[in-house]
Amino acid sequence: MRARPVGLHVPVHGDGRAFARLARAFGARILRRDLTELSDLDDLFAPSGPIAESQRGMARAFGVDRARFLVGGASAGLKALVWALPRGTVAVPRDVHRSVVSAAAAAGHRLRVLPTRFDPRFGIPLGPTAEDVAATLAIDGSVRAVVVHHPTYHGVVGDLDALTAVCRERGVAVLVDSAHGAHFGLHPDLPEPAYRHEVDAVVMGMHKSGGALTQGALLLLRGDAVAPERLEEGLALFQSSSPSYLLMASVELAVADLVEGGPGLWARAVDVGLRARKLADRVFSPAPGQNADPTRITVLEPPGSETPSLVAEYRGGGTALYVVGPGIGAQASRRLLTHLRGIVPASPDPLPWDPAGSEPLDPRGALLAQRAWVAPERAAGRVSAGIVSLSPPCVPLALPGETWTPRALGTLTRGLSSGRVAQGLGAGGTVPVVAGS
């Protein structure tokens, strides 16, 4: 009889026998699968075995040239894509994710914030239109790529075909941040997925709405607007050298669900979202000509009207975001709708976001420069040395290299006094600025 193989490799927890707490918390079944690269298990950064096969299968399923597992969330894919671009300017929406900013700084790219519209009642970003992008490309020939959300955090999608056509005309790559769009296409009332449009790259957050484990994501690439070998280099640079096979396996399973899934899976969530939208005085609903994911429910919810039995994606400043998915049952659906119907709508008090674009920014210079921390009232006209954002709605007020305007500082003060949370501030609410700016 052949002896059972003995695992003499990392991780040393094996099936957890020697780590009782871990085994109790997760169970031997999970721990046995918690593996990383071994000779028979392939190499995420030079795949030739099962990982290569799986990635080829996913590329075929999505109709793209390459698919890559991501084990550091959508952030890892966005960083690798931006890193891989030829040195130049990357145009981004106001609500750009910090991963794009950090990779632009690492690669020495400039950033240009695209004019970005905001909903006048809910204060959430609606994204730049194709016309906004065309206007920016017409004045800045150094733009190499446009990063676009499909959808935004709040579920809003723009006209990706029109935007892509504008970029194609000028040879500019379209990189789609679809961190929140892994479920698109699974129901007639959900938007079309980004990979069905002629874009150059899509990063899908499989873990957020696709059913994979947290941090499991997927990168899809078409053509060579993003150089494949630079991309591989970026993926290795920005991800762990011990990729989790639990995460990768969960992405593979989620993709199988996505490819085989029928409209039934999302039917209840979509129905709840569409019913919620009818409460138009308190629930965000796209204007005619706009489109949005019904399963993202943005609500004007005055403080005091929240209920502890519903855990929102976020709450603050008189707004809340509820995310519904295939797991929502009939009872939870009723509870959510009853709650929304019971809200006494307050008059909206959206933050005054600046919809204008920016001059080209040098995020690398600003992040590496000597910095000073100053009170917001002394920051006007000075160059930001970091990312300062407000949540909700989770939007950067200032990017590294961007000059603080009185308007942005006013939005910061107002946001804080209305119970929102700022990220990127220092002690005593100071903001980071480039020393001497």
Ligand X SMILES: Cc1ncc(COP(=O)(O)O)c(C=O)c1O
Residue 416's identity, in one-letter code, is: L
- Quick check: 74 binds ligand X (CB under 6 A)? yes
Span near ligand X by CB under 6 A; candidates 73-81, 155-163, 293-301, 307-315: 73-81
**Torsional class of 240: left (φ above 0), alpha (ψ -120 to 50), beta (otherwise):** beta
- Beta-carbon contacts of 387 under 8 Å, excluding residues fewer than 6 positions away, are 98, 101, 396, 398, 399, 400, 423, 424
Residue nearest to ligand X (CB): 73
If one counts every other C-beta atom within 10 angstroms of the C-beta of residue 73, the result is 22
Q: Provide, rounded to whole angstroms, the least separation between the CB of residue 179 and ligand X.
A: 3
Q: Provide, rounded to whole angstroms, the least separation between the CB of residue 233 and ligand X.
A: 19
Residue count, binding to ligand X (CB under 6 A): 11
- Quick check: 177 binds ligand X (CB under 6 A)? yes
Counted residue by residue, the chain has a size of 437
Site string for ligand X, 320-339 (x = CB under 6 A): --------------------
Footprint on residues 235-294 left by ligand X (CB under 6 A): none
Whole-number Å distance between alpha carbons of 13 and 384: 45
Whole-number Å distance between alpha carbons of 221 and 224: 8
Gyration radius (Cα) of the chain, Å: 23
- Quick check: 205 binds ligand X (CB under 6 A)? yes
CA 88 distance to own-chain centroid: 23
Residue that is written with structure tokens 């005085």 in the block? 281
Residue from 250, 273, 261, 77 nearest 178 by CA: 77
- Quick check: 184 binds ligand X (CB under 6 A)? no
Pick 251 or 340: Cβ nearer ligand X: 251
Whole-number Å distance between alpha carbons of 365 and 226: 24
Q: Provide, rounded to whole angstroms, the least separation between the CB of residue 216 and ligand X.
A: 9
Footprint on residues 217-236 left by ligand X (CB under 6 A): 217
Pick 99 or 116: Cβ nearer ligand X: 99
Q: Provide, rounded to whole angstroms, the least separation between the CB of residue 52 and ligand X.
A: 23
Q: Provide, rounded to whole angstroms, the least separation between the CB of residue 394 and ligand X.
A: 7
Span near ligand X by CB under 6 A; candidates 17-25, 61-69, 72-80, 327-335: 72-80
Site string for ligand X, 79-118 (x = CB under 6 A): ------------------x-x-------------------
Site string for ligand X, 129-168 (x = CB under 6 A): --------------------x---x---------------
Residue from 151, 152, 148 nearest 162 by CA: 148
Q: What are phi and psi of 367, to 5 degrees?
A: -75, -30
Cβ contact 420:365 at 8 Å: no
Binding site for ligand X (CB under 6 A): 73-75, 97, 99, 149, 153, 177, 179, 205, 217
